[in-house]
Structure 1
Amino acid sequence: MILTLECLKSIIAIFIIVLSGATWGSTGAQSKTATTLNEASLATKHELWMARYERVYADNAEKERRFKIFKDNAEYVHKFNDEENNHTYKLSLNEFADLTDEEFSRAYTGCKRSIRSAGSFKTIDPIKYENLTDVPSSIDWREKGAVTPVKYQGQCRSCWAFSAVAAVEGITKIKSGKLISFSEQELVDCDKIDGDNHGCSYGHLDSAFAYIAHAGISSESNYPYTEKEGTCDTNKTRDYAAKITNYAIVDLNSETELLNVVSKQPVSAMVDRKGREFRLYSGGVFSGECGTSLDHSVTVIGYGRTEDGIKYWLVKNSWGEHWGESGYMRIRRGVDAPQGLCGIAMQPLYPIV
């Protein structure tokens, strides 16, 4: 019998589900001595993982090196997800399970804090949200049609572009009623006005918003993403789909003020995502250890509270739908530190239309 490609993919998916159930099931009924994963089962799991994510290595030496990293991550995930640990979130062997944290940072982060002072932001802020006393208890801008599907930045350190674009997509929908997917590639190729942004190397959110206020932004269909930095195509940039008038910063280190603005529109924010728990996050309310050395940009598209009373921020990421909760993360809100967990409240920015 000849198997079609789709049939083969289905078989692989079934194996992954079965193997996952056997390997990552509840540890409650397991012997305390059975906490170490079997080497053979890990090797099989790695092969299935490679098929799922279409991973191909240059040679056997590279495959062996990647397997060791995969094994280390797999054992960490297995122990972390043990029910006795009682975490508020879970981890999984996602697309990034064969990378070290250092390798991941070099490829998938890339945002830097603004070089502007807080005072200079306030001089360019013509609009100030009122201090609302009756902000809604929860909001999800996806439910209001102001969020495009999750995108994938690939190994281009362009998270800054995806974060800024998502915020502009949101406010454009809120103001015009039209949800348009805008072009991150235009920012990667063309945002060189003040020399602050460097395409696939790194970028600043405030420079991205300044570019969109000056030149507008094309639709994604007009200027599609390529996962690499190229030459600015001015023929495409002339036909911009939207423009903002300005941008502003949320009051620094205030989750209360961030809540105020997010109740009105999606907001770009930077986080410190160092550590494998952020990278391998698969669901729940993230409450892991992280610092305030901001290195990654996301878009805050809502907030809420779980049935257990845990407050969270709802965040859209740019690592594809296989990461987190179909590309999204819930991160703990209302922590003791004024910067917020992972520094999410340290320097949020939002576009003005």
Structure 2
Amino acid sequence: MDWRKKGAVTPVKDQGQCGINTEAGYPYQAADGTCNTKEESVRAAKIGGYEKVPANNDGTKYWLVKNSWGASWGENGYIMMERDVSAKEGLCGIAMDSSYPTTYDHLKLGFLAHLSYFLETGSCWAFSTIAATEGINQITTGKLISLSEQELMDCDKTSEDQGCEGGYMEDGFEFIIKNKGINTEAGYPYQAADGTCNTKEESIRAAKIGGYEKVPANSEQALLQAVANQPVSVSIDASGLDFQFYSSGVFTGACGTDLDHGVTAVGYGTTDDGTKYWLVKNSWGASWGENGYIMMERDVSAKEGLCGIAMDSSYPTA
């Protein structure tokens, strides 16, 4: 089953980063300038935190370094550089004083915010809500329409949904129901930042849903039955480096069940070697994974599913 082939899935979108301003809002000039306090106050991305630096599959220790040359460079803008090399200055000059603790966690000391681009402090909930809504709308009307995540972020403030600060897909469905529909992406375009609700655009309704259903928790079989009928919003643990650096194939990497990311299950299948998988649409742009998608191992031994995919899922109804 692949809902893309049935025309029920729009092209992969990119949620960007919701905290400091965007490049478009405060463009880079490659020169010193005077601080634009108006644009400085806009927050469209959050500065991320850190990840513990484990050994890779062959045991080589490495530093995980974020560059500023864009996501097309390296591994989505990052590079893994060998750690504990023989030269005292380290590879390319990375070095540490000898007097440091064996373990250190800036996050636990309160010095760093959690990673927002990959974790719950972002707009992934809106993208998952919209992707599932786009799916049921196409199935019932025959029209595939790209709908507005920004409307959810700006106008859905009645419950736990707080734009770039995170939210829940079920609350997103509730908003669409109460609002009697939602506008198109073109009519209310994504800004990668929280904004004031545009009530004029909010009143334009290109698609609607009648309700939503929760999938029974901790049952991949129940999730399978749901995805067989339509795209389904699912929550997963996307905090691990294996997941974040996924590029192709069936993902079987280590991950937990601390749900922190909303995505959309748009299909399932079995590879030629017999490995069962979920086909999942992400919101990190088409350059991530397999054109923005990931195949996640299905029918694993844990009842929660890989990365907790079977723990918390829901879908809109016509």
Deviations 1:126-150 (A, max 9, x none): xxxxxxxxxxxxxxxxxxxxxxxxx
Trace 1:151-166 onto structure 2 (pairs within 5 A): 157-166=122-131
Of 258, 268, 272, 2:233 maps to 268
When normalised by structure 2's length, the TM-score is 0.67
In the superposition, relative to structure 1, how do residues 342 and 191 fare at CA in structure 2: closer, same or farther (>3 Å)? same
Give the match for residue 203 of structure 1: 167
Q: Is the 8 A contact 1:110 1:160 kept in 2?
A: no
Please name the residue that 1:29 is paired with: none
Aligned to 1:335, which of 275, 286, 300? Answer: 300
What does residue 308 of structure 1 align with?
Answer: 273
**Which residue of structure 2 aligns with residue 145 of structure 1?**
none
Q: What's the offset of the Cα at 1:323?
A: 0.5
The CA distance in 2 between the partners of 1:76 and 1:97, in whole Å, is 15
Q: CA RMSD in A?
A: 3.1
Deviation sequence 1:88-107 (CA, Å, 0-9, x none): xxxx94324269xx889522
List structure 1 runs of 4+ shifted beyond 4 angstroms: 55-59, 75-80, 102-105
Question: Which one-letter code corresponds to 2:239 in the other structure?
Answer: K
CA contact (8 A) 1:94 1:323 kept: no
The alignment partner of 2:165 has SS state of coil
CA contact (8 A) 2:147 2:182 kept: yes
| Pairs within 5 Å for 1:219-298 | 219-298=184-263
Which residue number corresponds to residue 106 of structure 1? 115
Going from structure 1 to structure 2, the CA distance change for 1:110 and 1:237 (only over 3 Å counts) comes to farther
Counterpart of 2:265 in 1: which secondary structure? strand
Letter aligned with residue 346 of structure 1 = M
1:184-217: per-residue Cα shift (whole Å, max 9, x none)?
00011111123x1111011111111100111111
Distance 1:253 1:57 in 2: 51
Residue correspondences, number = 232
In structure 1, the gaps of 5 or more residues are 1-54, 60-68, 81-91, 112-155
The residue type paired with residue 133 of structure 2 is V
* Structure 2 residue corresponding to 1:321, chosen from 286, 294, 305: 286
Matched, 1:182 2:163: no
* Counterpart secondary structure, 1:172: helix
State whether structure 2 residue 138 is matched by structure 1 residue 173: yes
Measured after TM superposition, the shift of residue 249 of structure 1 is 0.4
Distance 2:77 2:260 in 1: 17
Verify: 1:97 aligned to 2:78, yes or no.
Answer: yes
Q: In the superposition, relative to structure 1, how do residues 163 and 236 fare at CA in structure 2: closer, same or farther (>3 Å)?
A: same
Distance 1:57 1:324, change over 3 A: farther
Match of 1:212 in 2: 176
3-state secondary structure, aligned to 2:183: coil
C-alpha spacing 1:110/1:279, structure 2 compared with 1 (3 Å): closer
Distance 1:76 1:248, change over 3 A: same
User: Aligned-pair distance for 1:268?
Assistant: 0.2
- Please give the TM-score of this superposition, normalised by the length of structure 1: 0.60
Per-residue deviation, residues 148-193 of structure 1 (Å, max 9, x unmatched):
xxxxxxxx71000000100000010001000000000001111112
SS at match of 2:234: strand
Pairing 1:31-50 to 2, within 5 Å after superposition: none
Mark the CA change 1:95 to 1:337 in structure 2 (over 3 Å): closer, same or farther.
same
